[in-house]
């Protein structure tokens, strides 16, 4: 096999074929050396009179996963991907792309510039660029509609989803699907082409098939709702329209310009930041890359309540057997029923088949005795948030578990050190904080205690990935990262009501900022009794002003429990549509007059700044205390756990974009207006501003 100059691409002669192998771990991204290697390979094909065709295949876990994202930070070095694609397209002999894993973005563009595509049946293809705030820039949006039609191409490009090889084959994107030995299959596919005298087949030469022009308006309307605030999906519609109206070569040039412009947009920077931060969050301090996580083959969950049920679903979905431990057969029976309902809803949506649901249900068993957990590798305790109850469970688990089994707690705010100390072996104790609904929410806030063993941390991190979650490691602190920051936003939202804002105004400002739901609509959804219980658990440690601000308790006393009682901060009709509740205005007025508080007009700017900067300030304290390893972890938590708009990059990235001096100025202002205890700038912010730096340098 001839290694080309680039080291990541090699070419071997197989009879009358050239087989080009790309080997650029981890995901065969189109780094400079791969682009140069592909160019050389096409030159080799053209200059070798005996070579009749060429196969492009990749080593490792996947076909090309796209352009090399790390190269986006500096000017691209020639040859650019567009040049490589042009050469592939212009080749005078057939080229076949052999796809396994995922052919994504630039990887799919390479495949589309080949004459034919063959794929393993488990392979997937897609244009995920939109998730990075950009769009295909090397012919993807110009070739795809020619091959599969305008409407399906627009869906793939504007939403960034992946489709299976079989679906791609049905759509005409892939020519053949095989179930094993891709290389042999690709070679015999290509040999047959050669034997039959097949010519090159250029997608660029195809016309754009007929389509319904209404697709642009309907897509625009749908996308602006579904991806509210995101720019690239809407640009995709304009791009696709341009492609249908413009000759091929011109469309290629325009597409490249659109991609380049988007690449330097603030949204793309923010989205790429989150992409990198989610991966960096997997690097946990003190856990070496070579440290093997413990095997997790069977798990138990103690507590068949809402959280326990959702967590059980996560394990079933990942194919891991799970035992649910409860106090009575009745509670377990209703939990199993509820879990089945979750899977049934998935079947109804077309997410899984009924057979698959039964396979998943077969992974679930129940028990009322702790003896049943004797042989599990991990137990997650998900019972009520009472320290003594949890401590008692830890002691009972210690008595029956294998020595190497892990005890994880789903607590959202109890002291992880106290819990760890209640096990005879604190090194086996860690936190795994799931978010409600656990089977839906991507965020997994893992927690480390001082004595947690490094391989236990490696295990909870690896398990998070295996469950399809985005795991982030937090350290000791009340409410860890997520709820500690949230509590500050909740505090400010309540104080704003005291000061004269309305729930509608606060919710409107925060949803206009990009949150999917405002804090008061969210409280109505969660239930005021739950909010009141969370407050009761913390009230003794609250400041006097927070202790006084008992609006939540007053709503509960008035029977306004939120959506479940059709009345909370809002009034709800039968279809749960919220409307203004004059009773809440009256309740707030009564509250203010009881304490002699005067309502004043509050600007939208004040609402936004107080809600956001209270969180950012708390995050700075968490960072300094070591509760979070890096600002990126905080951004990942907020974008995955609370709907902070990913196109703004999370609260820390956003604060840097606003400028830390401006953030500090606002904190100083609210220190005077609301009170020092609530807004005194964190020492880290003071220091960074003095040094002329931001959270990210």
* Per CB under 6 A, 24 contacts ligand 3H9: no
Tokens for 376, please give them. Answer: 């599990």
* From candidates 33, 102, 494, 640, binder to ligand 3H9 by CB under 6 A: 102
| Residue of 20, 36, 38, 68 interacting with ligand 3H9 (CB under 6 A) | 68
418 in catalytic set: no
Alpha-carbon torsion (299, 304, 309, 310), positive or negative: negative
CA distance to 91, 141, 389, per residue, from 200 (Å)? 8, 21, 71
Burial of 177 (0-12, 13-18, 19+ CB in 10 A): buried
Q: CA Rg, the chain, in Å?
A: 28
Spatial distance between the Cα atoms of 450 and 294, rounded to a whole number of angstroms: 19
Q: Does residue 132 interact with ligand 3H9 by CB under 6 A?
A: yes
Cis omega before residue 509 (within 30°)? Answer: no
Question: 192 vs 279, which CB is nearer to ligand 3H9?
Answer: 279
Strands 443-447 and 429-434: what pairing? antiparallel
Of positions 40, 129, 524, 635, contacts ligand 3H9 by CB under 6 A = 129
Q: Which is nearer to ligand 3H9, 276 or 372 (CB)?
A: 276
Q: What whole-number distance in Å separates Cα of residue 673 and Cα of residue 168?
A: 59
Active-site residue among 86, 129, 381, 492? 129
Distance in Å, CB of 21 to ligand 3H9, minimum = 18
Find the binder of ligand 3H9 among 10, 45, 66, 649 (CB under 6 A).
Answer: 66
Residue number with CB closer to ligand 3H9 (65 or 429):
65
Tell me whether residue 109 is one of the annotated catalytic residues: yes
Answer yes or no whether residue 69 interacts with ligand 3H9 by CB under 6 A.
Answer: yes
Strands (E), 81-215: 95-99, 102-104, 116-120, 124-126, 162-164, 176-178
Task: Pick the stretch among 98-106, 372-380, 386-394, 568-576 that binds ligand 3H9 (CB under 6 A).
Answer: 98-106
With CB under 6 A as the rule, give the number of residues binding ligand 3H9: 25
Shortest Cβ 240–ligand 3H9 spacing (Å): 15
Q: Which of residues 400-459 bind ligand 3H9 (CB under 6 A)?
A: none
Stretch that binds ligand 3H9, among 104-112, 363-371, 448-456, 581-589 (CB under 6 A): 104-112
What residues pair up with 126 in beta bridges, in sequence order?
Answer: 104, 162
Whether residue 332 contacts residue 442, with contact meaning beta carbons closer than 8 Å, is answered with no
Give the per-residue contact string, 488-517, with ligand 3H9 (x = CB under 6 A; - = no): ------------------------------
Q: Are 387 and 415 in contact (CB under 8 A)?
A: yes
CA-to-CA distance for 680 and 664, rounded, in angstroms? 9
Residue from 37, 94, 140, 152 that binds ligand 3H9 (CB under 6 A)? 140
Q: Which of 259, 382, 407, 463 binds ligand 3H9 (CB under 6 A)?
A: 259
| Partner residues linked to 302 by β-bridges | 325, 381
Ranges within 275-314 binding ligand 3H9 (CB under 6 A): 279
Query: Distance between CA atoms of 647 and 657, rounded to whole angstroms?
Result: 12
CA distances, 568 to each of 486, 509, 530, 538 (Å): 20, 19, 12, 22
Q: Which residues pair with 55 in a beta bridge?
A: 19, 96
Answer for which of 4, 22, 29, 323 binds ligand 3H9 (CB under 6 A) is 29
| Nearest distance, CB of residue 128 and ligand 3H9, angstroms | 4
Pick from 426, 485, 449: nearest CA to 618 = 485
- The catalytic residue among 40, 46, 71, 109 is 109
Q: Determine, following the binding rule CB under 6 A, whether residue 106 of this chain makes contact with ligand 3H9.
A: yes
Range in contact with ligand 3H9 (rule: CB under 6 A) among 24-32, 166-174, 337-345, 651-659: 24-32
Binding range to ligand 3H9, per CB under 6 A, among 64-72, 299-307, 466-474, 543-551: 64-72
Residues that are catalytic: 109, 129
Which residues lie near ligand 3H9 (CB under 6 A)?
A: 26-27, 29, 62, 65-70, 81, 102, 104-106, 109, 128-129, 132, 136-138, 140, 259, 279
């Amino acid at each position: 096999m001839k290694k080309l100059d680039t080291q990541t691409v090699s070419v071997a002669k197989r009879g009358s074929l050239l087989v080009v192998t790309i080997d650029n771990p981890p995901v065969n991204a189109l780094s400079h050396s791969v682009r140069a290697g592909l160019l050389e390979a096409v030159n080799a094909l053209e200059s070798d009179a005996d070579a009749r065709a060429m196969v492009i295949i990749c080593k490792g876990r996947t076909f090309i996963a796209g352009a090399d994202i790390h190269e986006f930070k500096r000017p691209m070095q020639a040859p650019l991907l567009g040049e490589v694609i042009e050469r592939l397209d212009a080749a005078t002999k057939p080229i076949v792309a052999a796809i396994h894993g995922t052919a994504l973005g630039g990887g799919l563009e390479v495949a589309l510039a080949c004459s034919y595509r063959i794929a393993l049946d488990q392979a997937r293809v897609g244009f995920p660029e939109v998730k990075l705030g950009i769009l295909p820039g090397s012919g993807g949006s110009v070739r795809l509609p020619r091959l599969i039609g305008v409407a399906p191409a627009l869906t793939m490009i504007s939403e960034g989803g992946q489709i299976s090889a079989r679906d791609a084959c049905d759509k005409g994107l892939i020519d053949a699907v095989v179930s094993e030995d891709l290389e042999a299959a690709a070679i015999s596919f290509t040999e047959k082409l050669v034997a039959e005298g097949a010519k090159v087949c250029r997608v660029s030469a195809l016309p754009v098939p007929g389509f319904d022009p209404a697709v642009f308006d309907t897509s625009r309307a749908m996308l602006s709702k579904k991806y509210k605030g995101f720019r690239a999906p809407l640009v995709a519609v304009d791009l696709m329209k341009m492609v249908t109206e413009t000759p091929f070569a011109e469309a290629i040039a325009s597409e490249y310009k659109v991609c380049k412009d988007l690449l330097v947009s603030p949204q793309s920077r923010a989205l790429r930041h989150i992409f990198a931060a989610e991966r960096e969050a997997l690097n946990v301090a003190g856990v070496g890359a070579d440290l093997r996580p413990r095997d997790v083959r069977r798990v138990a969950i103690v507590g068949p309540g809402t959280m326990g049920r959702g967590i059980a679903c996560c394990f079933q979905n990942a194919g891991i057997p799970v035992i649910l431990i409860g106090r009575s057969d009745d509670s377990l029976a209703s939990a199993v029923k509820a879990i089945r309902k979750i899977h049934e809803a998935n079947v109804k949506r077309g997410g899984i088949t009924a057979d698959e649901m039964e396979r998943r249900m077969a992974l679930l068993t129940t028990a009322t005795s702790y003896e049943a957990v004797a042989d599990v590798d991990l137990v997650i305790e998900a019972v009520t948030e009472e320290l003594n109850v949890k401590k008692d469970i830890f002691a009972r688990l210690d008595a029956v578990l294998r020595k190497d089994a892990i005890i994880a707690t789903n607590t959202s705010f109890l002291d992880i050190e106290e819990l760890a100390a209640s096990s005879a072996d604190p090194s086996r104790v860690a936190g795994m904080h799931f978010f409600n609904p656990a089977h839906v929410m991507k965020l997994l806030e893992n927690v480390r205690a001082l004595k947690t063993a490094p391989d236990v941390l490696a295990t909870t991190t690896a398990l998070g990935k295996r469950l399809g979650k985005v795991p982030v490691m937090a350290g000791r602190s009340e409410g860890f990262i997520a709820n500690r920051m949230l509590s500050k936003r909740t505090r400010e939202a309540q104080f704003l009501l005291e000061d004269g804002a309305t729930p509608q105004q606060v919710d409107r400002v925060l949803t206009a900022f990009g949150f999917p739901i405002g804090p008061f609509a969210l409280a109505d959804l969660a239930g005021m009794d739950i909010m009141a219980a969370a407050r009761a658990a913390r009230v003794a440690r609250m400041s006097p002003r927070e202790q006084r601000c008992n609006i939540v308790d007053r709503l509960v006393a008035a029977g306004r429990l939120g959506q479940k009682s059709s009345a909370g901060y809002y009034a709800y009709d039968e279809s749960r549509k919220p409307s203004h509740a004059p009773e809440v205005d009256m309740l707030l007025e009564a509250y203010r007059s009881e304490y002699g508080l005067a309502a004043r007009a509050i600007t939208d700017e004040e609402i936004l700044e107080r809600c956001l900067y209270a969180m950012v300030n708390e995050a700075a304290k968490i960072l300094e205390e070591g509760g979070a390893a890096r600002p990126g972890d905080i951004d990942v938590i907020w974008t995955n756990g609370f709907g902070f708009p990913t196109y703004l990059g999370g609260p820390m990235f956003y604060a840097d974009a606003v400028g830390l001096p401006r953030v500090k100025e606002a904190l100083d202002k609210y220190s005077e207006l609301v009170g020092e205890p609530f807004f005194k700038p964190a020492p880290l912010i003071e220091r960074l501003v003095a040094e002329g730096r931001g959270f990210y340098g």
